[in-house]
Amino acid sequence: MREYSISQLSKEFQVTTRTIRHYEERGLVAPRRRGQTRIYSPADRTRLKLILRGKRLGLSLEDSREIIDMYEPGKSNIDQLKKLITAIQVQRLQLTQQLDDIGSLLKDLNQAEADCVDALKSNRTDHS
């Protein structure tokens, strides 16, 4: 049952401690304390991971908070669950849209790179 300090996690995830504390201010993590000092559990570490993944996907902290809270539906009632399901479906729509976008962008990048390589080639043979 490992535990982590804030600077350990900041190094592991390449963010500042300020950033991690900011996530706590916004209610995305709540590590327990030993005295004043924050002690992060593996579960806390996972939450951080999810937050940063969301960030890479362009989600706001608020979005990430909601999504992460979805993963712990322990004490929710029926209405909650129904709300969750629709929220999940919305998220899924956005993500599949992103998948499309990424596909397009990758194609564009490939084309752009090929163009560059071509341009270099002709520059190498054609000494005009």
Partner DNA sequence: TCAATACTTTACGTTGACGTAAAGGTCATA
Partner DNA sequence: TATGACCTTTACGTCAACGTAAAGTATTGA
Determine if 45 is a binding residue for DNA (CB under 7 A): no
Q: Is 14 in the site for its own copies (CB under 8 A)?
A: no
Minimum CB distance to DNA smaller for 38 or for 45 = 38
CB nearer to its own copies: pick between 32 and 81: 81
- Choosing from 117, 125, 127, 128, the residue that interacts with its own copies (CB under 8 A) is 117
Nearest alpha carbon to residue 29 among 41, 11, 47, 12: 47
Within 51-90, which residues bind DNA (CB under 7 A)?
Answer: 55, 60-62
Chosen from its own copies, DNA, none, partner binding at 41 (C-beta under 5 to 8 Å by type): none
CB of residue 36 to its own copies, shortest distance in Å: 33
DSSP string spanning the chain?
---B-HHHHHHHHT--HHHHHHHHHTTS---EEETTEEEB-HHHHHHHHHHHHHHHTT--HHHHHHHHHHT--TT--HHHHHHHHHHHHHHHHHHHHHHHHHHHHHHHHHHHHHHHHHHHHHHHH---
Q: Is 89 in the site for its own copies (CB under 8 A)?
A: yes
The footprint of DNA on residues 15-34 (CB under 7 A) is 15-19, 21-22, 26
**Residue 6 binds which entry of DNA, its own copies, none, CB below 5-8 Å type-dependent:** DNA
CB atoms within 10 A of CB 44: 21
Size of the site for its own copies (CB under 8 A): 41
